[in-house]
Amino acid sequence: MRIIMVGGTGVIGRPVADTLAERHEVVRAGSRSGDFQVDATDRGSVERFFREVGPFDALVSLVGGAAFKPVVELTDEDFERSFRHKLMGQINLVRAGLPHVRDGGSFTLTSGVLSQEPMPGSSAITIVNRGLEGFAAAAALEMPRGVRINVVSPPWVTETLEELGWDTSIGMPAAQVAPAYVECVEGSRNGETLDARQFA
Ligand SMILES: NC(=O)c1ccc[n+]([C@@H]2O[C@H](COP(=O)([O-])OP(=O)(O)OC[C@H]3O[C@@H](n4cnc5c(N)ncnc54)[C@H](OP(=O)(O)O)[C@@H]3O)[C@@H](O)[C@H]2O)c1
């Protein structure tokens, strides 16, 4: 398969891309890094990107970025930026990518554990993650030509917890998130959200 990974250069994206590359052709993209550059928040940039990369069998998105703050501190701009980046950024990739995905291909998006297990400070991220999961469940009903769409929900990963100086015991190494993405790309699921901990 030819797999396009937007966010394939990040903390989780790198090991997922390395795992998929053992059996498939993987193209890695980021806003500044990777084989191709694309800004998922900019519809024009996304459309240019798909024209440049050409046809593909699977698109995996790990684009992220949402405000983590107590409700009383969240500004209009925090909400707007969270929706524009992680939520609409990933949805833009599906909308603009549909004409370029081959018959029977797939889209795999990324939400996160804060969807189903919120914590203080996560209200904006929780909306975004649940929005992505809801989008995939509904859009799966309309995908043409046997195309599938799913979401992977990673837990906190050890590398990120270390960087934040938080307790690493609640997370798992980024490499262990890879099997859930493999299941979405290589399996037959459609409209589902996979908790990555159940596939590690
Ligand atoms: N890390 C965790 O513990 C954790 C837990 C649960 C869920 N998640 C979710 O998992 C996803 C990946 O997280 P991560 O920790 O691996 O993030 P990361 O290390 O910050 O990587 C983000 C990736 O997305 C790319 N990217 C960022 N903005 C972009 C844009 N506007 N357009 C296109 N590409 C863009 C980055 O490339 P450039 O740098 O070149 O832009 C990079 O490849 C995110 O959705 C995050 O919310 C993470």
Give the closest residue to 190 by CA, choosing from 160, 151, 134, 144. Answer: 151
Ligand 1 centroid to 6 CA: how many Å?
A: 9
Pocket test for ligand 1, best of 6, 12, 46 (most atoms within 8 A of CB): 12
For 10, which DSSP code?
S
> Beta 56-61 vs 193-195: how paired, if at all?
unpaired
Q: Whose CA is nearest to atom 24 of ligand 1?
A: 7
Inter-CA distances, 87 with 32, 51, 135, 170, 173, Å: 19, 22, 9, 25, 24
Residue 110 CA: which ligand 1 atom is closest?
Answer: 45
Q: Write out the chain's pLDDT in tens, 200 residues.
A: 999 999 999 999 999 999 999 999 999 999 999 999 999 999 999 999 999 999 999 999 999 989 999 999 999 999 999 999 999 999 999 999 999 999 999 999 999 999 999 999 999 999 999 999 999 999 999 999 999 999 999 999 999 999 999 999 999 999 999 999 999 999 999 999 999 999 99
Instruction: Using most ligand atoms within 8 A of CB, pick from 14, 31, 52 the residue to mutate for ligand 1.
Output: 31
